[in-house]
Amino acid sequence: MFDFATNHESYETTATIASAKSLAHAFIERLGRDDAFRAFTVADPVAATAQYGFTIDPSKLPAQGITLPSKDVLNARLDEVAQQFAAAASVVVVFTI
């Protein structure tokens, strides 16, 4: 029988890592095609990333704001950029089993 109490931490960590990669991929993919979302992300990166479950410490953002790579660069390097983003941002766990 599977003991959720014993395996809870391991399961949550695995789910969080997989979710982070998937969410980061969707976020970067949207930045590569949606001009309105790109503008929103530049204006409020904390709120934009929060839509995908990520938290960003506002104090770590550059004082002059952020600059996004071109859509062509994001699309050409989607997997690489998404992996780097997932590693740098933290995911908010909404629920656990």
pLDDT in tens, 2-26: 344 444 444 444 445 557 778 888 8
Q: What CA–CA distance (Å, rounded) separates 38 from 48? A: 9
Q: Residue 49: is its pLDDT beyond 80?
A: yes
Nearest to 46 by CA among 34, 58, 35, 37: 58
Structure tokens at 83: 């992996």
Question: What does the domain layout of the chain look like in residue ranges?
Answer: 4-91
